[in-house]
Amino acid sequence: MAAIALERVAQDGMRVRADAGAASFRRQARLEEHLAEARELVRALKAQVAADPSEGKRRSQAAKLRAGREREECIGAALARLPEVAAAKRRNGGQAEDARASTTDADASVMKMGDGGFRPAYNVQFATDCEGRVIVGMDVVTAGSDMAQLAPMVDQVEQRVGKVPEQWLVDGDFPAHEQSDAVAGKTVLYAPVPKNKPAKAKGQSQDPPEGPAGEVEQKAPPAGSEFEPKPGDSEAVAQWRGRMNTDAARELYKDRAATAECVNAQARNRGLLRMPVRGLAKVKCVVRLYVLAHNLMRMATLAPQLIGWGTGTSAMTATAV
């Protein structure tokens, strides 16, 4: 018995605060200075451990040596990540020399948060079944943008559950043209089409003519509309533009916010506000544990028998709690 049909999935990213302070981010020159200092400290501590045979001091010095080595490794990891951060800055029109990395959590990135501020964070991705609100795909990435996260998540869900949902709903941050091409033939993409710039001439309608409720036939978009195929559009991108020019697509797309925003809000209400660990590998473990807990709670509602809950008095009491 399957608990969900997996016909429609909504994907969204959620920025979660990293366990790294904003003051821990340094540019390359300062990181190299800190690395040299850390290496010198480790060298000195090694000499002290070798020179002093007393057991009590050896334990204390060994602890200091471990801390010194950990700091050296963290700074080295920050330096190793700088090229990735610099490349991201260049793509966004910034200066590569302004790239900075954290000396306490090299995998953390400064991201724009929901309140408009910028803080060290991780980008947590959830793909959720719209009907049962079961999370069927998850990832954690160090990029603040969702632009490249669509195709990898589609592939992950296919590998994880053995099928791809018929419909995939994302917000306007996701559908880069190459991502749309990558998922074409696997799923039908629903995402808002960015409005053209500059704005249309005054008096020209932005909306297609109204039709009967539930109509799925694509109508010819007004000349110059964002729904009109553009030169260089691939077949998949042109189909996406036309698809979003229908009342049926707009109605179906309402499931995105009702699903993804709800799951994100539940995650925050349950404490997924700041990571308790450092490093991408450990952060992914935390998110996996959260997803497991979330899905167990959904199973208790959707199909309690799948997790060993029956229909007796004790099971009904547990469900009520």
Shared-domain flag, residues 91 and 228: no
**CA-based diameter of the chain, in Å?**
88
Shared-domain flag, residues 185 and 281: yes
> At 209, is the pLDDT very low, low, confident or very high (cuts 50, 70, 90)?
very low
Structural domain including 70 reads: 25-102
Instruction: Tell me the pLDDT tens digit for each residue of 25-83.
Output: 999 999 999 999 999 998 988 888 777 766 667 778 788 888 999 999 999 999 999 99
Shared-domain flag, residues 131 and 173: yes
Give the residue from 50, 75, 102 where a domain finishes.
102
Q: Does residue 114 sit within a domain?
A: no
DSSP character string of 50-113? HH---HHHHHHHHHHHHHHHHHHHHHHHHHHHHHHHHHHHHHTT--GGG--EESS-TT-EEEE-
Q: Quick count: other Cβ atoms within 10 Å of Cβ 243?
A: 19
Shared-domain flag, residues 72 and 191: no
Q: Does residue 318 sit within a domain?
A: no
Shared-domain flag, residues 146 and 69: no
- Residue 298 pLDDT > 50: yes
Q: Does residue 110 sit within a domain?
A: no
Shared-domain flag, residues 176 and 278: yes
Q: Does residue 109 sit within a domain?
A: no
Q: Does residue 317 sit within a domain?
A: no
Shared-domain flag, residues 144 and 262: yes
- Residue 202 pLDDT > 50: no
Q: Does residue 316 sit within a domain?
A: no
Shared-domain flag, residues 294 and 146: yes
Q: Look-up: residue for tokens 């994302």?
A: 170
Give the residue from 40, 74, 102 where a domain finishes.
102
0.85 exceeded by the pTM?
A: no
Amino acid of residue 236: A
Shared-domain flag, residues 170 and 247: yes
- Residue 222 pLDDT > 90: no
Shared-domain flag, residues 131 and 279: yes
Domain count for the chain, please give it. 2
Shared-domain flag, residues 30 and 124: no
Q: Does residue 312 sit within a domain?
A: no
Instruction: Tell me the pLDDT tens digit for each residue of 74-127.
Output: 999 999 999 999 998 888 788 888 899 999 999 999 999 988 899 999 999 999
Is there a contact between 101 and 78 (Cβ–Cβ < 8 Å)? yes
Give the residue from 71, 102, 133 where a domain finishes.
102
Q: Does residue 264 sit within a domain?
A: yes
**Tokens matching residue 280:** 């991408």
Q: Which residues contact 281 (CB under 8 A, 6 or more apart)?
A: none
> At 215, is the pLDDT very low, low, confident or very high (cuts 50, 70, 90)?
very low
Shared-domain flag, residues 87 and 174: no
Is there a contact between 42 and 72 (Cβ–Cβ < 8 Å)? yes
